[in-house]
A and B are shown apart, each in its own frame.
Chain A
Amino acid sequence: MELSKGTVVRTLAVVLVVAAFAAGAFAQAPPVKIGLLATLEGPFAAGGQDGMRGAELAVRQRNGVVAGRKIEIVKASSDAKPDVAVNATRKLVEQDKVDIMVGPLSGSEGIAVKEYSKTQPNITFINGSSGAQATTLVSPSPNFFRFNTEGAQWMVGLGKVALDKGYKRVMVIAEDYAFPYSQVQGFMAEYCKLGGKVPVKAWVPLGGKDYSSVIARVPKDVDALVVVLGGADAVNFLNQYEQAGGDKPLVGGSITVSQDILNYKGKRRDSLVGTIAGAPIADAYEAPEFRAFVADYKKNFPDGYPSPSLFALVYYINMKAALDGLEIVKGDLGDGQKKYRDALSKMVLKTPVGDVRLDENRQAIGTTFITEVAKDAQGGLYNKVLRKIDGVNQLLGMKKEEFKVGSRDEPNCP
């Protein structure tokens, strides 16, 4: 091998690059760090941003200090894909050395992060707003906590209200992935039991644009449509259903008749009045705790929404749980955070929508609202509270043996 000056310089350059690269591989561990993961990219970017606002609000309410220890938030982003969420979480835990993780936002992300949490037994993971049933029902992780109720729980009570409205036969139109499965199950479990019939279920792809084939399949003899679609999908469906001359009343999922949809312009907008839905949040809920939460949100985030979204509330609840738990143990995270996790498992969390306890899988038992779209004096649409159901658990009131995780074919009552 011939050594010339050029070779030496080039080799040195390589060594320098290598050294710079290696230097980054070492990091130090600071005091109480909380990792915060939400979707700042992709289809749920707006929701993710509002989720971050909710989590930040919980920290600001304590002026960033719990039990004398400063709270440092380290944020990360994903795009609703499970692999991206796990990469972001792994970076927060292994590189930024956070003590507690809060996140992620969407269903399949939650399942993937829960699986990852098993490899990090000394870190406590608290959910963001992900709402897949399987996260805590199928092979739960001892250090993954979820202080929010999930998709199926959000629909409890809706089946009875639908029957009371006289909807004896309904058709289901829902997106084809885990979260809508849960929502449909939450609705149908009760609805079928009380004698309702669901002759047709149409599963449509997420982000679908054309609903004409689905609309053509709507049977004449159903009384209502159960529409579990989110964001742009819901708007597209409503527009096309209107153009096709559809006139069936609607029953909505938890993110179907949210504020962004109620603001959409179209002739069918008025026919949304009377649409019932189930959700963990209701804009018009009058309890003083909730009004205080809304006022605080508006004061802290003038650039936020007129009223906090579902994501803001749920991230707030989970971050509040993380901080309240820290308060109970006086900031003591020693011994692999064992005391902290015990405190979390046992505590009764005060939230703007009522008290939350955890079951043995560390899943929330909490409150669900049944809402109905109404028109206010200015002609704007809003969700008024029809019923409030407390203490909804993940098995929807069923016994463990008879409960099955929701899927395309489960439950079924044609």
Chain B
Amino acid sequence: MSAANWRGANATAGPARVPPAPRVARSKLANPLRLRHLVVLAFLIAYPWFATPFFTYQIGAQALALGLIALSLTFLGGYGGMISLAQMTVAGIAGYMVAIFGTAATDGVSLGWPWWLAVVIGIAVATLAAAFIGWLSVRTEGIYTIMITLAIGVGFYYLVLQNYAVFNGFQGKQKVFPPTLAGIYWRDPTPFYYLALFWALAGYLFVVYLLRAPFGIALQGIRDNPRRMHALGFNVTAHRVTAYAVAGAIAAVGGVLFTWYNGLVTPGSVGTSWLINILIIAVLGGMRHPVGAFLGAIVFVLLQNFAIDVIDRERFNLVIGAVFLAIVLFSHDGLLGWWSALSVRLSTQRGETRWSSAKGRLYAR
């Protein structure tokens, strides 16, 4: 999918994001909490109590951490119209900073500062780096944005691969673990799951809120027609750079979680394959709603773990590729595309005219 097409597709889906006329909205918008939200939330909270530690940690927590990083791309791409391949780089910067300012059991710099200070610095540095990446790339459009962010990502990969004094080269930083706090070791499956769940929910709600705040509305306006927004007096560049910084902060939190999850950060964590995996996760889930990032992450993690069980073990990447292709080919917007198609079918069968079905039709175009 080329970036230009992609942006075009979004332009049509765009208006649906803007709150509709008050009459149709009724209590729905004032109280957007619905039964299915409660069911999902209850399930997420209860999950570690019936799932095995493996499912809690390797599937659940990993999907939440990856989903958070992909969420930053969904925000940037779906609502800002800027596809950045450097989101994993930003996450990796946060991870490396935590290892450098905090503790890690390898050569190279490790200052051994308290974990909370290291985390705060890590997220701050990563956010600054994201703003810098944004400042470099906002003047480009479509495919050129992808190219310049890819170049930055690959550049950072080679920096950490070849720099030994600070980043410890190929081996990276090992044994970067979360702290033991309040008598709980936060890398145990259940505590780490809740930690990841907390930040994933926080990131999700933050993005949902931001999209309806003036900044988010302006950003979507810029996505759809930057010239007109400029004529209206909005500073297009400043909005875009800010969007990069906001997305960077989200990716940084995800990056710290993912580093703690793996217990290490190496050049492999910020290599090309991971830069592209984040794009795959975002596209797989669908970029029209923040929840898509997490859906994509769940499917991605499940495939990574279980594709090897369904086919000849030397060929399991075939399954992963086939599922990705099937989702992208048969749905115009990942899993969320299927969801809205299902909504439309259900609603039109009953001849509903409620806003939710109208929304569904808009999406289904």
A residues near B, CB below 8 A? 1-7, 9-11, 13-15, 18, 22, 24-27, 40-41, 49, 75-77, 81-84, 86-87, 90-91, 94-95, 108, 111-112, 115, 176-178, 205-206, 407-408
Contact = CB atoms under 8 A, between A and B. Distances in A.
Contact of B36 (A10, A22, A81, A205): A10
Given A27-B52, A86-B262, A177-B171, A81 B268 contact: yes
Identify the interface centre among A1, A3, A407: most chain B CB within 10 Å of its CB: A1
12 contacts: A10-B36, A10-B343, A10-B346, A14-B39, A49-B314, A81-B268, A84-B268, A91-B58, A94-B58, A108-B171, A112-B263, A176-B162
Contact of A1 (B34, B107, B171): B34
Nearest to A408: B164
Nearest to B57: A90
A111 B106 CA distance: 12
A77 B316 contact: yes
Given A82-B266, A83-B266, A176-B169, A25 B350 contact: no
A176 B268 CA distance: 15
A27 B52 CA distance: 9
Interface string B257-270: 00000111010110
Nearest to B43: A18
B342 interface: yes
Nearest to B107: A407
A178 B172 CA distance: 11
Interface string B14-50: 0000000000000100010111100110010001001
B308 A178 contact: no
B313 A77 contact: yes
A83 B317 contact: no
A56 to B, nearest CB: 11
Given A25-B50, A82-B264, A95-B52, 20 more contacts: A4-B354, A6-B347, A6-B352, A10-B346, A11-B39, A14-B39, A22-B51, A25-B52, A25-B55, A26-B52, A40-B313, A83-B269, A86-B263, A91-B58, A95-B58, A95-B305, A111-B174, A176-B169, A177-B170, A408-B164
B144 interface: no
Contact of B54 (A41, A95, A177, A178): A95
A15 B46 CA distance: 13
A87 B266 CA distance: 15
Contact of B50 (A22, A77, A83, A108): A22
A24 B55 contact: yes
B40 A205 contact: no
A91 B304 CA distance: 11
Given A76-B308, A77-B313, A83-B262, A7 B54 contact: no
Nearest to B56: A25
A407 B57 CA distance: 34
A177 B164 CA distance: 11
A6 B50 contact: no
Interface string B308-320: 1000011011000
A250 B262 CA distance: 40
A15 B37 CA distance: 11
A177 B171 CA distance: 7
Contacts of B317: 41
A177 B169 contact: yes
B110 interface: no
Given A91-B305, A408-B164, A3 B350 contact: no
Contacts of B164: 176, 408
Contact of A87 (B33, B50, B305, B314): B305
Nearest to A10: B36
Contacts of B58: 87, 90-91, 94-95
Interface in B314-365: 314, 316-317, 342-343, 346-347, 350, 352, 354, 356-357
B53 interface: yes
B239 interface: no
Contact of B40 (A3, A14, A76, A87): A14
Contacts of B236: none
A12 to B, nearest CB: 9
Contacts of A205: 161-162, 169-170
B102 to A, nearest CB: 18
Nearest to A26: B52
A81 B54 contact: no
Interface in B108-160: none
A86 B269 CA distance: 14
Contact of A206 (B170, B316, B357): B170
A115 B171 contact: no
B107 to A, nearest CB: 8
B289 interface: no
B358 to A, nearest CB: 13
A314 B199 CA distance: 44
Given A24-B55, A25-B51, A83-B268, A7 B169 contact: no
Contact of B175 (A10, A77, A115, A178): A115
B35 A11 contact: yes
Nearest to A207: B161
B280 to A, nearest CB: 16
